């Protein structure tokens, strides 16, 4: 009949004829094996937990992004189809007719673009002025803070003012065009059938 020491040596692949273990050595070896088993179990549990945390983080990141097209393209163009006059302070200019709105980020009810993802964007905005007053001034704003301005006018002659701005936006930032304070408050931004007063933008590169 095999002794306990002999069986352990066989399980461990050790030459049983090489040496024998005393009772203390067997006890210590068994204790070490149990400790190793417990440590391995804890490590496997930690790996499972870590994988769960990674999956939750990825899910949270995905849900924070917009439901954009698979191409991730974001681009819009809109034009003004009716004259706007008698401006108030910081009155938004609502470019009402959508030419293109890939990604659905431009709202023609309020004239505002909301960034669906964080990244670098390029905007262009223009106004057509043609009244007897000297000029009109408008500005492009991000969350209410100016990031670009246009001032245009030539008394009774028509004049178009245009500006282009590259800017970094965080997801959820709003961008729109508005009248600048009371400058040229008696002016009129003219439509002339559309195509002159424009607001456009697109995502250059997402973060």
Q: What is the pLDDT of residues 168-186, one digit of tens each?
A: 999 999 999 998 865 555 6
Same domain flag for 96 and 187: yes
* CA-based nearest residue to 165, from 207, 120, 135, 195: 120
Same domain flag for 45 and 109: no
Proportion of the chain above pLDDT 70, given as a percent: 74
Q: Are 147 and 167 in contact (CB under 8 A)?
A: yes
Write down the pLDDT at residue 49. Answer: 81
Same domain flag for 101 and 35: no
Same domain flag for 178 and 116: yes
Same domain flag for 102 and 188: yes
Helix and strand tally (H, E) in the chain?
A: 2, 12
Q: Are 205 and 119 in contact (CB under 8 A)?
A: yes
In terms of pTM, does the model score above 0.75? no
Q: What phi and psi values does residue 17 have, to the nearest 5 degrees?
A: -80, -10
* 99 has a pLDDT exceeding 50: yes
Q: Is 121 helix (H, G, I), strand (E, B) or coil?
A: strand
* 161 has a pLDDT exceeding 60: yes
| pLDDT range class, residue 69, cuts 50, 70, 90 | very low
Residue 55 is assigned to a structural domain of this protein: yes
Query: How do residues 102-135 score in pLDDT, each as one tens digit?
Result: 999 999 999 999 999 999 999 999 988 876 566 7
Same domain flag for 104 and 20: no
Where is mean pLDDT largest: 69-73, 77-81, 85-89? 77-81
Is pLDDT larger for residue 106 or for residue 43? 106
Same domain flag for 44 and 128: no
- Average pLDDT on 38-61 reads 76
Radius of gyration of the chain (CA): 35
Residue 151 is assigned to a structural domain of this protein: yes
Write down the pLDDT at residue 185. Answer: 53
Residue 148 is assigned to a structural domain of this protein: yes
Proportion of the chain above pLDDT 90, given as a percent: 38
Is pLDDT larger for residue 83 or for residue 118? 118
CA 206, chain centre distance (Å): 7
Looking at the 3D structure of the chain, how many domains does it have?
2
Domain assignment of residue 44, given as a range: 4-64
d(CA 37, CA 155): 88
Same domain flag for 101 and 40: no
Same domain flag for 92 and 9: no
Same domain flag for 28 and 122: no
Is pLDDT larger for residue 148 or for residue 50? 148
Residue 70 is assigned to a structural domain of this protein: no
Same domain flag for 149 and 113: yes
**Which domain CATH number covers 86?**
2.60.120.40
d(CA 11, CA 196): 87
The last residue of one of the domains, among 64, 92, 108, is 64
Among 19-33, 42-56, 88-102, which stretch is predicted with the lowest mean pLDDT? 19-33
């Amino acid at each position: 009949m095999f002794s306990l020491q002999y069986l352990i040596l066989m399980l461990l692949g050790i030459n049983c004829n090489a040496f024998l273990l005393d009772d203390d050595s067997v006890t210590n070896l068994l204790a070490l094996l149990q400790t190793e088993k417990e440590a391995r179990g804890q490590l496997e549990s930690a790996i499972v937990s870590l994988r769960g945390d990674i999956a939750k983080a990825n899910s949270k990141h995905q849900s924070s992004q917009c439901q954009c097209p698979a191409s991730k393209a974001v681009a819009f163009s809109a034009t003004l189809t009716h004259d706007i006059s008698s401006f108030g302070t910081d009155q938004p200019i609502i470019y009402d007719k959508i030419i293109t709105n890939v990604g659905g980020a431009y709202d023609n009810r309020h004239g505002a673009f909301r960034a669906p993802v964080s990244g670098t964007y390029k905007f262009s905005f223009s106004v057509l002025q043609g009244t007897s007053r000297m000029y009109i001034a408008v500005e492009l704003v991000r969350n209410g803070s100016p990031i670009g301005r246009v001032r245009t006018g030539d008394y009774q002659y028509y004049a178009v003012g245009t500006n282009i701005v590259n800017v970094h936006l965080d997801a959820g930032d709003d961008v729109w065009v508005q009248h600048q304070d009371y400058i040229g408050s008696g002016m009129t931004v003219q439509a002339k059938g559309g195509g002159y007063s424009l607001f456009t933008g697109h995502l250059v590169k997402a973060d």
